[in-house]
Amino acid sequence: MKTITIIVPCYNEQEVIHTFYQEVTKVIDKLSYDFELLFVNDGSRDKTLAEIITLRMKDKRVTYVDLSRNYGKEIAMGAGLDYASGDAVIIMDADLQDPPRLIPTMIEEWEEGYDDVYAKRTSRKGETFMKKFTSRCFYKLLSRLTRVDIQKDTGDFRLLSHKAVEALKSFRESQRYTKGLFSLIGFNKKEITFEREPRAAGTTKWNYWRLVGLAIEGITTFTISPLRIATFFGGITAIGALVYMIYIVVRTMVQGVDIPGYASIVSIMLFLGSIQLICMGILGEYVGRVFNETKNRPLYFINRHEGGNQ
């Protein structure tokens, strides 16, 4: 029988782990596949790990990897992929926002030959207007800036074939933007849609800083077009400056020296100064990334694990 690994990154999810397990087993018990429920404990500070171990004592299909600290969902998923032993992998959130009822459909599509069956959400209940709005703006911006097509309104909830998993595992960059990687690897993709429910219990781990961070991450790890925009901006300012310079020189020759001009000098200085700072910031983002990647540090450390393929 084929084995399917369900990877579940968990960070402070003690309230939902048990419900999650029940809901998922309800679905998978009806299917004729072997399942592995691989929980990745991402340095939770609550009883998440204890809950997982309790589940493992009852059900050997439950395996886990306990990371040494909180690394963030992207790395947690990466660790999950490294330890998954199945012929296919399904990535799911622990909070039941990704409905387990889609699992059979995903598997069917995989059997049809698709490598990446992703779930697209048609509605996002329980999410604030601001979150939906900012996420829409971000997708727009990203698709403008990059050539890789990143799927809109799609989370990490998806089934990946062995081929796709191997491809993803070969990306060892420490600054990961997994959603982009899914697009980057290519392969046969299939979309299925669902309505996203609000979280079953517990609180969201996201805040705006994290989202802004992820957005910057997403753009800078994927494209260098901000650098090009900076160059372009510099070009425009240079042309503007040249025109203004010619104007000033001609005016001075015609009308003589014109001492006042404090306001214009100060505003030009401030304007150019800030443009320079912004461009340096953009440059810095990339230099920083180069620095981080060249260190070539291991992605994560684990405390211990039970089950899995290593």
Residues in contact with Mg ion by the rule CB under 5 A: 93, 95, 97
Tokens of 290: 């180069």
| β partners of residue 211 | none
Residues 6+ apart with CB under 8 A from 289: 175, 220, 221
- 129-145 and 208-222 helices cross at what angle (nearest 10)? 10
Q: Which of residues 82-141 bind ligand UDP (CB under 6 A)?
A: 93-95, 97
| β partners of residue 40 | 9, 65
Residues 6+ apart with CB under 8 A from 195: 121, 122, 123, 125
User: Which span sits near ligand UDP by CB under 6 A: 68-76, 136-144, 248-256, 264-272?
Assistant: 68-76
Q: How far is the CB of 228 from ligand UDP (least distance, A)?
A: 31
Sign of CA dihedral 191, 195, 201, 207: positive
- Residue 188 touching ligand UDP (CB under 6 A): no
Among residues 22, 125, 187, 206, which is the contact residue for ligand UDP, using CB under 6 A?
Answer: 206
Q: How far is the CB of 132 from ligand UDP (least distance, A)?
A: 12
Which residue lies nearer to ligand UDP by CB, 72 or 308? Answer: 72
- Residue 72 touching ligand UDP (CB under 6 A): yes
- Residue 226 touching ligand UDP (CB under 6 A): no
Rounded CA-CA distance 23/258 in Å is: 79
Q: How far is the CB of 203 from ligand UDP (least distance, A)?
A: 7
List residues near ligand UDP by CB under 6 A. 9-11, 13, 42, 70, 72-73, 76, 93-95, 97, 204-206
